[in-house]
Structure 1
Amino acid sequence: MTTELPPALIALARAAASEADPRAVFRAAEAANAALLGHRLFTILFVVPGGAEVERVHSSDPVAYPLTGRKHMGPTPWGDLVLKQGRTWLGNGMDDIRWAFYDHETIARLGCAACINIPVREGGEVVGTLNILDAADSYTERDVATAEVIGGFLPGALRRAATLAAAAARD
């Protein structure tokens, strides 16, 4: 049996295996997501050591969500679910978005009311999150599985991005 894989997913696999620059992997992940699921906002964050904050290392909208922007996740129900338990989260409506995110008004202004959050794990440890947002009711559980495949290519790039950010902070 031969399975035809989407070209964007193949490109992501190749970037994850060969690119030293994590930004190239993040761009390939965004392109794969655009081809397979679509989005209005696509961000990738790594978990800052200590686990109370996440730092944005990729954004499809750097004006609304700039790079290196940090979010204090603290003890929130969303943080417990995604960051601590390592479970995916699917929200499909503004009630869900308000439950999960303090910046829900910014998200709404972008026309987003659906969200998939994928905990990116390496060796069982959550090292970051993949965050995909679009209009209300844009995503299904089947889409979550596709997003999990995309997220599966990101741990190495997230580790490299975290190392680069830590080195820059020391300089």
Structure 2
Amino acid sequence: MRTALLVAKANVLCDRLQQAQEPAAAFDAIGATTLQAIGAGLLTINAWHAEQALIERLWSSDTSAYPVGGRKAKGDSPWRRQLLERGELFIGEGDAALAAVFDDVQVIRGLGCTAVANVPLCHQGRVIGTFNYLAERAEWSAAELAALRVLAALAGSAVRDLLAARE
């Protein structure tokens, strides 16, 4: 039964992505599917402006805590080098891991989130954005991380389209 439910959700997502006229509609479809598939949490989809070392929030599942349009400078750090420069998945589990990486850890705690999966969005070998999922977890399962990577890959083309439209 679980397989049938996953197939149905995948088909709905594919239909919504085919019908999306703009990146925001694609983000809405991917966001809804992510929350349904992985469970309650916070999802943000961001653009990475490497030349300014700046993250720009393009979509958020909680716009009161993390509004669209928010920007954060990202100075040199192990997190930045791993995720934004090398394009590698970042996993943070537990309060200490979150506090070591995020300056807004109080907001994250207030949302009940205890773990993060930051997935790089890449195009032609360079990072163009991030797909960030925070939730109440002791640890991420391999299945959750695989699902997040697939959903992030779908979001990458919408981020690319949005950035191209601005040029």
TM bracket (short chain)? 0.7 to 0.9
Quote the residue 2:78 is aligned against.
77
Q: How far 1:113 sits from its partner (Å)?
A: 0.9
Quote the residue 1:155 is aligned against.
156
Task: Give the 3-state SS of the residue equivalent to 1:131 in structure 2.
Answer: strand
107 and 44 in structure 1: CA distance in 2 versus 1, 3 angstrom threshold? same
Alignment of 1:22-171 (within 5 A): 22-50=23-51, 52-137=53-138, 139-164=140-165, 166=166
Moved more, 14-23 or 73-82: 14-23
Tell me if structure 1 keeps the 8 A contact 2:45–2:131: yes
Task: Give the 3-state SS of the residue equivalent to 2:44 in structure 1.
Answer: strand
Structure 1 alignment gaps of length 5 or more: none
Deviation string, structure 1 residues 8-31 (Cα, Å, up to 9, x no partner): 333333444442311111111111
For the aligned residues, what is the CA RMSD?
1.9
Task: Give the 3-state SS of the residue equivalent to 1:153 in structure 2.
Answer: helix
Structure 2 alignment gaps of length 5 or more: none
Q: How far 1:152 sits from its partner (Å)?
A: 1.1
Task: Give the 3-state SS of the residue equivalent to 1:152 in structure 2.
Answer: helix
| TM-score relative to the length of structure 1 | 0.86
Q: Residues of 1 paired with 2:50 and 2:90: CA distance?
A: 22
Deviation string, structure 1 residues 110-156 (Cα, Å, up to 9, x no partner): 11111111101122221111111111315223311110010111222
38 and 51 in structure 1: CA distance in 2 versus 1, 3 angstrom threshold? farther
| TM-score relative to the length of structure 2 | 0.88
Question: How many residues end up aligned between the 2 structures?
Answer: 164
Moved more, 54-63 or 11-20: 11-20
49 and 79 in structure 1: CA distance in 2 versus 1, 3 angstrom threshold? closer
